[in-house]
Structure 1
């Protein structure tokens, strides 16, 4: 890398770090007290990907201070690759990145994106800007030691070792190659992490999100990071990412971090949102003050300005789905990190973020748990420890059902990353058919972010062959994003197991594409494949491809469903009063049972009290 692409902070940073070591004693208090309620804030990832600028961060902070701070929103977090001066949206620049790194192998902010960092100031001026507004400042980092620091054998502050003495290529992230693993126990390994967090403490950082740490779970580095924070002299909240963190490590991560991811990256996809009912149910037993399972960011409002997923848009979630998202995250007590661009927020989104009754439940409730699940009608409950009131969340996750695989004209085996070539050949007799339906499902693992490709799809009548990707579909729906001809659903080339395909259809699980068939064709042929873009971003990616010649959609469920709850299930006896947290309305008294209608994909949140008229606390 050219020397002019590197920022060497020899004098000022060395002095700052030395003073930090000399003047600040280790923190002895329990770090769980630093975030006793679930952290709430804004993160740049969903709208700006790895390209956010200082001006954009400040604009979002200004909005938060003016409109959200009084409701408990306080963290402003700069996400990934703030140290690269020429990163790109919709795919990281790994060809010729302009690194900014100090003489001790620690990345520092790119001054062309963060002008206040020039002259060796790092993020301190930006953190000071947040603190002056009563906000807190956070950053994202990748686990490990920079590859560029290893290649240059840069020294480690506080150690005689260099970066080349502490690294291993084993465990390097498959989706971004900036870092190598730090090998615990080697001379200089702990000192490297100590030097990182001493630097961040000197900047005034309050929150660090450490990526590539949760899945797979890097226990030795979790422990080194925990120790480094405790030695830093500053109360820095620790968030691990991305998930799902192994449930077997729940106790360990709970003892070392303030929040940890329970899923991979979550976007504005109903299928992904629906998966969270199972995820939250499995992680609810591990909620405790200062340690929170993290259901990931809130992809609401104005998204995708320069993001890694999708185009510039308002969230694809309907209003009902947004109520479901905010209700589940709140009664589950997930951290709330808003992903949309706040300055271009709309009134509806702002109302979701400032409902005092819902946020009070999120802050203060206990014993948060799923009460029952009856197919796709779901109830959650929690306690108000001060009043004895009960909170009740009701969710209607019903969907239009698809015909079973045994009714398909053709169905693939489950395709995973272990499938040879991550593909399977498709050859279907469509003689006499007037319709063709291409369906992709999640393969049974309830993970709907896998990218799927119908490669080289053709219709044939024995003498004539027509590429299906050249024909218009009648309708096309994807679990996330848009079905795309001759590109993957991410907008990149169709790429499966390292091989690029010119023709095909990029989609997502779950998805359904409908065609009116031209007359006379007797066969449909293609190759079904797991696209690299999805396979590289999560472990255990699974897909099943199906072909139907008759409409596989079952009749649509009713717009609303009655969800029946007895007061005894909540541990209450009537009469009780019911207060709707979202509308603020008192709904009167109930005895014995409560059975409201809930819209499909929608949610209701209630406070139920035996104390007379229920009020929001």
Structure 2
């Protein structure tokens, strides 16, 4: 009997030691987060088609489509966007009159069970994350910067502190103007870091791989809260890709954001209007130097396919962009190496929309190229280029940004570093355009573009 008791004690000690080791979360090293997105992240986000109203069945339907049709091309993130913690949310705006929030005893939002049934009994997003992971995909969520106003009003305790409550770490200064769910977290207050630590501990336990955090970059850049978030992610024990939102992120914050986030927005929300694409083209030229492995300037979501099923802008529709404009959007996003997050309802895709997301040559350029730069921008004519060093390829994107007239866009091949003859292929169609020397000219309709692969001709 003594021997049996001794064995049981030994087993208990081993199990306790194992649990303690499991509980220990070794912090990631400074800058290690840049290894979590060495190529621009690619996925789907619920915002463009479902606004703040997306349900679990819709998340699963889009994940199923991605697993079957897009995963082999590099698409992997499935992201629940805004206000998943509100029971009585609505489309076409936000219910800010009488929102019913769901949160735990520590002031941390939980999924609304009437929209996400698998979250019942405090399970949170873990069952949904497990489902998406079972498909070989990754799971993401959206949150707002700050601490819930309800947690402040109720003076809820901050997990990981000795009696500090939510009302002791908040500030009404710089509260988000367009959504009043949260207050600013005052980074100077004891308990501020612990609050962010507590929510990322929860997200890590759920299995979150990606987080989009809103109201961080505009109208002001919230450097103090970005620091709190970076520290919390690095100490949560799970790699979580960080996307800051929305834009326009100020250029004055470029060095800081590129050392704290994996991706950051350059503009506000992009929708299916030509002026959004034109504006992106102008803004992006200031960010070429920050396109680096692990940290990516972000063009925002891709407003293609079926939009606004219950969305925020316009009625249920297929994208308003013409086919030329859709090619132009995808050409700009891919040669710029922006993260790619499809916004339309994936199961509603037609063959053309799917083809824009599954062109292997274009996606190879997107993931493997480097040295993105502008050749010229003049009178509606824009030319961008990049290289694939390992394959000895040069990429060229030509854009007619004018509204009315077709334009001839001419590129001197010497400006691309070529001497002698080159072979040029249309990357969207796969058509071999032939051998060229000295220069290359294409006539493009208004709002149209061309994307080409160039290599020295033998």
Q: How would you bin the TM-score normalised by the shorter chain?
A: over 0.9
Aligned Cα root-mean-square deviation (Å): 1.2
Work out which of the residue numbers 595, 600, 605 in structure 1 matches 2:441.
595
Alignment of 1:28-107 (within 5 A): 28=29, 30-107=32-109
Q: Shift of residue 185 of structure 1?
A: 2.2
Q: Shift of residue 388 of structure 1?
A: 2.6
3-state SS of paired residue (2:286): helix
Residue 119 of structure 1: aligned partner: 121
Q: Shift of residue 37 of structure 1?
A: 0.3
Say if 2:423 is the partner of 1:577.
yes
Q: Find the aligned partners of 2:168 and 2:235 in 1 and give their Cα distance.
A: 22
Contact 1:21 1:198 in 2 (8 A): no
Q: Shift of residue 562 of structure 1?
A: 1.3
Q: Find the aligned partners of 1:177 and 1:298 in 2 and give their Cα distance.
A: 27
3-state SS of paired residue (1:380): strand
Say if 2:304 is the partner of 1:307.
no
Q: Shift of residue 585 of structure 1?
A: 1.2
Question: Could you list the per-position Cα deviations for residues 99-136 of structure 1 after superposition, in whole angstroms to 9, with x for gaps in the alignment?
Answer: 10000000010001000000110000000011111000
The count of aligned residue pairs is: 437
Residue 8 of structure 2: aligned partner: none
Q: Find the aligned partners of 2:307 and 2:68 in 1 and give their Cα distance.
A: 21
Work out which of the residue numbers 207, 212, 216 in structure 2 matches 1:213.
216
**Residues 45 and 159 from structure 1, CA distance in 2 versus in 1: closer, same or farther, beyond 3 angstroms?**
same
Say if 2:455 is the partner of 1:604.
no
Question: Could you list the per-position Cα deviations for residues 558-614 of structure 1 after superposition, in whole angstroms to 9, with x for gaps in the alignment?
Answer: xx32100010111111200001100011111000000011221111100110154xx
Say if 2:272 is the partner of 1:268.
yes
Q: Find the aligned partners of 2:155 and 2:62 in 1 and give their Cα distance.
A: 38
Residue 22 of structure 1: aligned partner: 23
Residue 9 of structure 2: aligned partner: none
Work out which of the residue numbers 317, 334, 339 in structure 2 matches 1:335.
339
**5+ residue gaps in structure 1?**
1-17, 401-556, 613-617
Q: Find the aligned partners of 2:20 and 2:48 in 1 and give their Cα distance.
A: 37
3-state SS of paired residue (1:563): strand
**Residues 167 and 351 from structure 1, CA distance in 2 versus in 1: closer, same or farther, beyond 3 angstroms?**
same
Say if 2:410 is the partner of 1:564.
yes
Contact 1:567 1:573 in 2 (8 A): yes
Q: Shift of residue 389 of structure 1?
A: 1.7
3-state SS of paired residue (1:595): strand
Q: Find the aligned partners of 1:319 and 1:60 in 2 and give their Cα distance.
A: 23
Question: Could you list the per-position Cα deviations for residues 453-504 of structure 1 after superposition, in whole angstroms to 9, with x for gaps in the alignment?
Answer: xxxxxxxxxxxxxxxxxxxxxxxxxxxxxxxxxxxxxxxxxxxxxxxxxxxx
Work out which of the residue numbers 391, 395, 418 in structure 2 matches 1:391.
395
Contact 2:435 2:457 in 1 (8 A): no
Residue 236 of structure 1: aligned partner: 240
Q: Find the aligned partners of 1:152 and 1:101 in 2 and give their Cα distance.
A: 12
Alignment of 1:389-538 (within 5 A): 389-400=393-404
Q: Find the aligned partners of 2:187 and 2:21 in 1 and give their Cα distance.
A: 24
Question: Could you list the per-position Cα deviations for residues 181-213 of structure 1 after superposition, in whole angstroms to 9, with x for gaps in the alignment?
Answer: 001121100000000101000000000000000
Contact 2:200 2:233 in 1 (8 A): yes
Q: Find the aligned partners of 1:19 and 1:190 in 2 and give their Cα distance.
A: 23
Moved more, 330-339 or 26-35: 26-35
Residue 12 of structure 2: aligned partner: none
Q: Shift of residue 270 of structure 1?
A: 0.3
3-state SS of paired residue (2:112): coil
Name whichever structure is richer in helix by fraction.
2
Residue 15 of structure 2: aligned partner: none
Residue 489 of structure 1: aligned partner: none
Name whichever structure is richer in strand by fraction.
1
Residue 199 of structure 2: aligned partner: 196
Contact 2:263 2:295 in 1 (8 A): yes
Residue 142 of structure 1: aligned partner: 144
Q: Find the aligned partners of 2:379 and 2:279 in 1 and give their Cα distance.
A: 13
3-state SS of paired residue (2:376): strand
Q: Find the aligned partners of 1:73 and 1:249 in 2 and give their Cα distance.
A: 29
Q: Find the aligned partners of 2:264 and 2:281 in 1 and give their Cα distance.
A: 17
Q: Shift of residue 56 of structure 1?
A: 0.1
Q: Shift of residue 268 of structure 1?
A: 0.5
**Residues 187 and 322 from structure 1, CA distance in 2 versus in 1: closer, same or farther, beyond 3 angstroms?**
same
Q: Find the aligned partners of 1:211 and 1:68 in 2 and give their Cα distance.
A: 27
Tell which structure's C-alpha radius of gyration is larger: 1
Contact 2:421 2:457 in 1 (8 A): no
Contact 1:20 1:202 in 2 (8 A): no
Q: Find the aligned partners of 2:206 and 2:28 in 1 and give their Cα distance.
A: 17
Contact 1:330 1:361 in 2 (8 A): yes
Alignment of 1:147-166 (within 5 A): 147-160=149-162, 161-166=164-169
Work out which of the residue numbers 252, 257, 260 in structure 2 matches 1:256.
260
